[in-house]
Amino acid sequence: MTTAKTTQATLTTAPQPRRINIAILALGGQGGGVLVDWIVNLAEQAGWTAQSTSVAGVAQRTGATIYYVEMVEPTPGQAPILALMPVPGDVDVLIAAELMEAGRSVERGFITPDRTTVITSSHRTFSVQEKMVPGNGIADSAAVLDLVQSHARHLVIDDMQALAVQHGSVISSSLFGALAGSGVLPFAIADFEAVVERSGKGVQASLAAMRAAIALAQKNAPIPELPSNPMETAARPLPERAASGQLQPLLDRIRADFPRPAWNWLGEGLARVVDYQDIAYGKEYLDRVAQVLQADSMDMAAQAAEGSSSAELAIEAARWIAVAMSYDDVIRVADLKTRSERFARVRGEVGAKEGDIVGTEEFFHPRLEEALGTLPSGLADWIDRSHGIKSWLTPRLSQGRRVRTHTVSGHLQLRFLAGMRRWRRSSRRHAEELAHINSWLDLVVGLVPHDKALAIELLRCRRLVKGYSDTHARGSSRFDRLQRAARELQGRPQAAQALSSLRQAALSDAQGKALAAQLQSLQLLP
């Protein structure tokens, strides 16, 4: 008899090689590709296998791109299989070149509390959706930071853009330094520096920004407090003396004729309209504010009381009449784009050094209406009535123009347009704007004696009108609808609150659906 003996082989599982997955989210021009190349080079120099991929998008975030780097420790004789995209819940390091990109990474599931180290810049680059909202569509930075912090295993955050500019470099250098300083990768600081040194371009500036970010990340400093994007900003104090002798009488008039709570806002408004046009225009501005306050039955002492409805009326009139009188037109846009302080700001934003040549290219796409708006009313009306001339002009104006303002010819083109300010008062656009302003203020003045709160809300509705071209047309249309609503609401209880709710609805979305729904709920005509 033969006995068979069976033995069970013990199966052993070989340890899996270490793998690190890194997702990088950057906008166009932020050097995301350079950062990826540095990380891949760093891994390969240490004998690791590394692969990078990228998926670009251009619709919503100025060329937002998701880069993905997957690296595996040395596997002699084996070729690891690497993924092409980050997978939710499987990201070890998330690098965001802008705060909102870090927030969007939470939404995508790239950041998990038990695994992901997040390295992000705290600065903001506003998205198309944020800019499209008629009101303040800017996302709350503090709320985004709280969201990211609650989902990250470890967070390294600071204004990496400002840090890079401070050292004459770009944000990819400071992000690479923050990655080195975080200690999340198994490579020495010297290995990171060697990668930058081998890059051969802007080495010293890149190293300086990188080392500053390393020190910042190693400090493990407390998470900074970010602003919650407040809707309002405080007015600067009214100066004792005007910048010129011609302006001083207007400054004196503010102190003599207007309630103290509104002085600072009147000073801001006066500076704005004088810069927009001239000193005579500043006098017109004060006249219009005075017209509104004269309709108030309260005496000067009551108007000067902090927190009173009369003081509130004076402040809102000072603010929004100035905004209305300094409307955007082609002349204003050309003026702002050719100011020396703008060129200085652009040079600062790109980190240009002394002697560097910085070029700017402006895109203009004015409609026929904008072109006619710069002409004298009579001439513009004549062209408007001529079908042949309009047919000839329309295709020539429908094509966008690219103007290089750093060139002599491009700069002179815009300076010529800006110089038309002296003839602005005779233009068709100015006549239209004044008619619109006068109609609005006539209604405000009529409301003040009967429902001051409603008049104040109608002043605030001017916030809807901004920009030029299609943006201005859409805002003006909604503003006109709210003016009609103010007339319809007059005499109703809680009329001011109703108009306020309509204004908030109009500011909340670009499509106008919220406003239509609110009008319906208040039983007002659309």
Q: What is the pLDDT of residues 444-454, one digit of tens each?
A: 999 999 999 99
Predicted confidence at residue 244, as pLDDT, reads 86
Please name the helix (run of DSSP H) or strand (run of DSSP E) that holds residue 120, with its range, or none.
strand 117-121
Confidence of residue 3 (pLDDT cuts 50, 70, 90): very low
Say if residues 242 and 267 touch (Cβ distance below 8 Å). no
pLDDT of residue 320: 96
The better pLDDT of the pair 57, 33 is held by 33
Whole-number Å distance between alpha carbons of 277 and 271: 10
What pLDDT is attached to residue 303? 64
Mean pLDDT for the chain?
Answer: 85
Tokens of 463: 């916030």
Nearest to 191 by CA among 31, 24, 39, 19: 39
Dihedral angle sign, alpha carbons of residues 308, 311, 316, 317: positive
Pick the more confident residue, 346 or 207. 207
- Model pLDDT, residue 229: 57
Note the pLDDT of residue 55.
Answer: 82
- Kindly report, residue by residue over 38-76, the tens digit of the pLDDT: 999 999 998 888 898 988 765 444 557 889 999 998 888
Q: Taking Cα atoms as reference points, which of 211, 213, 169 lies closest to residue 190?
A: 211
Residue 6: is its pLDDT beyond 60? Answer: no
**Residue 364: its pLDDT value, please?**
75
CA distance 241 to 472: 36
Show the domains of the chain with their CATH numbers.
Answer: 19-219 (3.40.920.10), 448-526 (no CATH)
Rounded CA-CA distance 20/179 in Å is: 13
Question: What pLDDT score does 285 carry?
Answer: 97
The two tokens of residue 99 are 């705060």
Residue 193 has pLDDT above 80, yes or no: yes
Residue 270 one-letter amino acid = L
Between 1-5, 215-219, 251-255, the lowest mean confidence (pLDDT) is in 1-5
Q: How confident is the model at residue 97 (pLDDT cuts 50, 70, 90)?
A: confident
The residue among 43 and 508 whose pLDDT is bigger is 43
Q: If we measure between CA atoms, which residue out of 454, 433, 434, 432 comes closest to residue 443?
A: 454
Distance CA 320, CA 459 (A): 6
pLDDT band at 247 (very low <50, low <70, confident <90, very high): very high
Can you give the pLDDT at residue 70? 92
Confidence at residue 187, expressed as pLDDT on a 0 to 100 scale: 93
**pLDDT value, residue 288:** 97
The pLDDT value given to residue 124:
78
Identify the H or E element spanning 201: none
CA distances from 339 to 128, 270, 332, 414 (A): 26, 20, 11, 10
pLDDT of residue 284: 97
Binned at pLDDT 50, 70 and 90, residue 345 comes out as: confident
- Average pLDDT estimate for 364-374: 80
Does the structure show a pLDDT above 50 at 264?
A: yes
Paired tokens of 88: 């939710």
Task: Take residue 268 and report the two structure tokens written for it.
Answer: 């801001």
pLDDT class for 9, splitting at 50, 70, 90?
A: very low
Asked whether the beta carbons of 253 and 241 are under 8 A apart, the reply is no
Supply the DSSP string of 292-354, one letter for each residue: HHHT--S-HHHHTSTT-HHHHHHHHHHHHHHHHHT---HHHHHHHHT-HHHHHHHHHHHTPPT
Lowest-confidence pick of 47-56, 118-127, 402-411: 118-127
Q: What is the pLDDT of residue 2?
A: 41
Q: Residue range 328-355: average pLDDT?
A: 83
Percent of the chain surpassing pLDDT 90: 43
> Looking at the predicted structure, is the pLDDT value of residue 10 above 80?
no
Q: Which pLDDT does position 242 carry in this prediction?
A: 86
Q: Which ranges constitute the DSSP H helices of 359-494?
A: 368-373, 377-385, 387-397, 408-418, 428-447, 452-460, 469-489
Long-range CB pairs of 475-482 (<8 Å, 24+ gap) are 475/134, 476/436, 478/134, 478/506, 478/512, 478/515, 481/506, 481/515, 481/519, 482/458, 482/506
Instruction: Identify the band that residue 357 occupies on the pLDDT scale cut at 50, 70 and 90.
Output: confident
**CA 263 to mean position of chain CA atoms:** 29
Q: C-alpha angle 463/467/468, rounded to 5°?
A: 135
pLDDT category at 5 given cuts 50, 70, 90 is very low
Report, as an integer, the average pLDDT of 274-292.
96
Residue 137 has pLDDT above 70, yes or no: no
pLDDT mean over 487-506: 93
Cα–Cα distance between 195 and 40 in angstroms, integer?
A: 10
pLDDT > 70? residue 269: yes
Q: Which residues contact 35 (CB under 8 A, 6 or more apart)?
A: 24, 26, 67, 95, 172, 175, 176
Kindly indicate the confidence band of residue 353, based on its pLDDT and cuts at 50, 70 and 90: confident
Provide mean pLDDT across the span 114-121.
92
Beta carbons of 121 and 145 less than 8 angstroms apart: no
Q: DSSP of 141-154, one letter per residue?
A: HHHHHHHHHHH-SE
pLDDT by residue (tens digit) across 375-406? 898 998 898 888 888 888 887 777 777 888 88
Report d(CA 37, CA 491) in Å as an integer.
68
Angstrom distance (rounded) from CA 462 to CA 101? 33
* Four-residue CA torsion sign, 471, 476, 479, 481: negative
Q: Which residues pair with 230 in a beta bridge?
A: none
DSSP 8-state symbol, 77: T
